[in-house]
């Protein structure tokens, strides 16, 4: 699938990279190693996969008050995803990129897609998440 998908913007910015797609939720606290930028939850289908510089696509987060801190550490370590695409976004997840923009001057767009568009995203596709225009652009 290639084309332009309209999205709801939660944090602005432009991120581009390869789609890393899961249909499982992700917990940043206890599920992601910020030093290595990998999923380190052995129960997760993306176990030991790198999220660094990827467009990370997952339906929703497992909320934790520590999620913004993990996101800040990912940004600080240079291991953060290029963008995040959800079907539903936990407000705590959004706080990390907002604070990261302030402290580290790095914009990580966080956007939501409706279910029909969300399920069309396939791992390995290249994409630009344009949190300025409200678009996810998929390349063949």
The pTM assigned to this predicted structure is: 0.96
Position 127 scores a pLDDT of 98
For residue range 22-41, list pLDDT tens digits in order.
999 999 999 999 999 999 99
For residue range 49-66, list pLDDT tens digits in order.
999 999 999 999 887 789
| In contact, 91 and 78? CB cutoff 8 Å | no
CATH class assigned to 3-139? alpha beta
Coil, helix or strand at residue 38: strand
Catalytic residues: 64
């Amino acid at each position: 699938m290639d084309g332009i998908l309209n999205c709801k913007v939660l944090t602005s910015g432009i991120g581009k990279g390869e789609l890393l797609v899961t249909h499982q939720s992700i917990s940043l606290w206890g599920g992601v190693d910020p030093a290595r930028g990998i999923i380190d939850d052995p129960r997760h289908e993306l176990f030991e996969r790198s999220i660094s510089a990827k467009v990370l696509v997952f339906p929703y987060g497992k909320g934790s008050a520590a999620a913004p801190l993990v996101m800040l550490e990912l940004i600080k370590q240079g291991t953060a995803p290029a963008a995040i695409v959800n079907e539903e976004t936990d407000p705590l997840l959004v706080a990390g990129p907002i604070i990261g923009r302030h402290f580290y001057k790095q914009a990580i767009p966080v956007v939501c897609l409706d279910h029909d568009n969300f399920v069309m995203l396939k791992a390995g596709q290249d994409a630009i998440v344009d949190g300025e225009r409200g678009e996810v652009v998929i390349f063949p």
